[in-house]
Copies of this chain bind each other. A is one copy, B any other.
C-alpha cells in the first residue's frame, strides 16, 4: 500500500504546501476532507486527484492485490500441472471436485494414476481457474460500472441545461467532471470539482439518482453485488468455475467475496440503516432550512442521497451546519461504523472483534483498551481541543466539540462530511473573515491539520489492523 504515500506533485498553485499535502492524503485515503476550495485546482491537478482516488479506492486496490496473488498462485500451479499431466494422461475434467458434491462416479478407477493425486490435481486446477475467473469478473464489474457511470453522468450533464450551466459557469470540462465524479463516487472518496460539492446539483435529482447506485456498488453493497453477479453469470453460462466460486467463496482468498448468508445479511443491514436514517432525516428536516427551496420530490431524493452518503462517501447536498444536532449525532455513529458491519453472528462485527482480541491476549489488555479505535479517537479529539483551545474559547459557535468530533470521525471513517465554517456564526464578527467552501478543518491550525492527517491514515488502515487481529486469532 505504498501508493498512499504518493506525495503531492501539484505545487504550482497558491495553496500552502501543507494544504496540498492534505488534499493528496485526503484523496489517496478516499476521505475527501478539504482545506482548500476545489475550484482552485487546474484541470491537470484534477486528473492527478482522480488517479490518486482511483488508486486509493478500496475495490481497485483489492482487485489488483487479488490479481497479483492469483498470478503467484497460477505460476507454480502450471509447473505442477505439466509435471502431473506427464504422469497421467487425459485427466477427467469436470468430473469430481470437493465442494460440489456431484454424483461421484465410483467406477472410474484409473490404474495409471493414483485417484488421490487426480482429485488433488483436479481440485487445484479448478481452483486456479476459478481464481483467475473471479479476478476477471471483479475487474469487469469495476470497468463496467465506471464506464456506464461516466457515460451516464456525461450524458446527463450535457443534456440537462441546468447542470450544464453550472459546469460552464465554473469552467469545468464535462469529461473531467463526469470521470472524476464517477471515480470519486465509486471509490467513495467524495471529491467533486465544484466548491459546493453536490449542493450545486441539489435540484438535479436525476444526477443524484445516477450517483446513488454507484455509491452503494462501490462500497457497502460491493460484496453482495459481486456475489449476485457471479450467481447470474453462473445461471447464464453454467460454467463450473462460477459454481466453484459460489461454493468455496472463502477459499478464493478474496476478502470481499463473502458467503451467501453474509452477503444477504449485509445487504439487509445496509438497506435497513438507510431506511432508518432516511425516516429520521425526513421527519426532522422536512420543513427546516436544510432542504429549503426544493419541491417534495427533490427533497425526498436529496434526503436519500444525503443518508446514503453518510456511511462512507461524504458527498453532500445540504449544509450540515444547519442540520439538527440529533441527526448529526446519528451521522457520527454511521460514519464510525465500518462499511461491512452486518447484524449477524459473524466476525465482521467490530465490537465482537475487539472483544475477542482483548480476550485472547489477556496480558495486553492495557494495550487493547488504550488502542481501541474509540479511545484513540477520543484522545485525538482531546488533542485537537488542546491545539485549537483559543478558537474554542473565542468562536464557540463554529469551534465546538460536536463539530470537531464530526470532523475527526469523518476523517476516521474516510467519509468527508464537515460542518464547514461560517463567518456569520462568529460571536465577535471579524471583518477579515471570508466564507469559503471548504471543510471546517481548513480553519484549524497546522497542528490540527496534521493530527487530522494522522486520523485519516489511521482510518484507512483500520481494515488492516482488524485483519491483523484476525490473523493473530487464527494462528
A378 to B329, CA, bound (A): 8
Among B328, B368, B389, point to the contact of A351 (Cβ < 8 A): B368
CB of A343 within 8 A of chain B?
Answer: yes
CB of A376 within 8 A of chain B?
Answer: no
* A 342-357 contacts with B by CB, 8 A: 343-345, 349, 351-352, 354-356
Interface residues on A, range: 35 or more
CB of A325 within 8 A of chain B?
Answer: yes
Nearest chain B CB to A308's CB is how many angstroms away?
A: 20
CB of A139 within 8 A of chain B?
Answer: no
Nearest chain B CB to A337's CB is how many angstroms away?
A: 10
Nearest chain B CB to A287's CB is how many angstroms away?
A: 13
Residues from chain B with a CB closer than 8 A to the CB of A389 are 284, 324-326
Closest to A322 in B: B393
Q: Interface stretch among A192-200, A211-219, A394-402?
A: A394-402
CB of A372 within 8 A of chain B?
Answer: yes
Q: Are B330 and A343 in contact (CB under 8 A)?
A: no
Closest to A358 in B: B352
A365 to B345, CA, bound (A): 6
Q: Are B351 and A392 in contact (CB under 8 A)?
A: no
* A 319-377 contacts with B by CB, 8 A: 324-326, 328-330, 333, 343-345, 349, 351-352, 354-356, 358-359, 362-363, 365-366, 368-369, 372, 374
Query: What is the count of identical protomers in the complex?
Result: 2
Residues from chain B with a CB closer than 8 A to the CB of A328 are 401
Closest to A393 in B: B324
CB of A386 within 8 A of chain B?
Answer: yes
* A 369-422 contacts with B by CB, 8 A: 369, 372, 374, 378, 381-383, 385-386, 389, 392-393, 396-397, 400-402
Residues from chain B with a CB closer than 8 A to the CB of A392 are 324-325
Contact with B along A118-159 (1 / 0, CB 8 A): 000000000000000000000000000000000000000000
Nearest chain B CB to A280's CB is how many angstroms away?
A: 8
* A 264-304 contacts with B by CB, 8 A: 284
Closest to A400 in B: B400
Q: Are B324 and A343 in contact (CB under 8 A)?
A: no
Residues from chain B with a CB closer than 8 A to the CB of A396 are 397
Q: Are A349 and B365 in contact (CB under 8 A)?
A: yes
Among B330, B351, B400, point to the contact of A358 (Cβ < 8 A): B351
A121 to B392, CA, bound (A): 68
Q: Are A352 and B359 in contact (CB under 8 A)?
A: yes
Q: Are A381 and B345 in contact (CB under 8 A)?
A: no
Nearest chain B CB to A330's CB is how many angstroms away?
A: 6
Closest to A383 in B: B326
Q: Are B329 and A381 in contact (CB under 8 A)?
A: yes
A328 to B378, CA, bound (A): 11
Contact (A352, B355) CB under 8 Å given A328-B401, A345-B362: yes
Contact (A344, B365) CB under 8 Å given A354-B355, A378-B333: yes
Q: Are B385 and A329 in contact (CB under 8 A)?
A: yes
Q: Are B401 and A329 in contact (CB under 8 A)?
A: yes
Nearest chain B CB to A52's CB is how many angstroms away?
A: 33
Nearest chain B CB to A27's CB is how many angstroms away?
A: 30
Among A284, A326, A333, find the residue whose CB has the most chain B CB atoms closer than 10 A.
A326
A351 to B375, CA, bound (A): 11
A333 to B385, CA, bound (A): 15
A355 to B347, CA, bound (A): 12
Can you name 12 A-B residue pairings with CB atoms under 8 Å?
A: A284-B386, A324-B392, A324-B393, A325-B385, A326-B385, A329-B401, A343-B366, A345-B362, A351-B358, A359-B359, A401-B401, A402-B402
State the 9 A-B residue pairs at the shortest beta-carbon distance, nearest first. A355-B355, A326-B385, A345-B362, A401-B402, A352-B358, A325-B385, A326-B386, A325-B401, A343-B366
The residues of A with any CB-CB pair to B shorter than 8 Å are 284, 324-326, 328-330, 333, 343-345, 349, 351-352, 354-356, 358-359, 362-363, 365-366, 368-369, 372, 374, 378, 381-383, 385-386, 389, 392-393, 396-397, 400-402
**New contact pairs (19) apart from A329-B381, A351-B354, A351-B372, CB-CB < 8 Å:** A324-B389, A325-B385, A325-B401, A326-B382, A326-B386, A329-B378, A329-B382, A330-B382, A345-B362, A349-B369, A351-B358, A355-B358, A355-B359, A356-B359, A397-B397, A400-B400, A400-B402, A401-B401, A401-B402
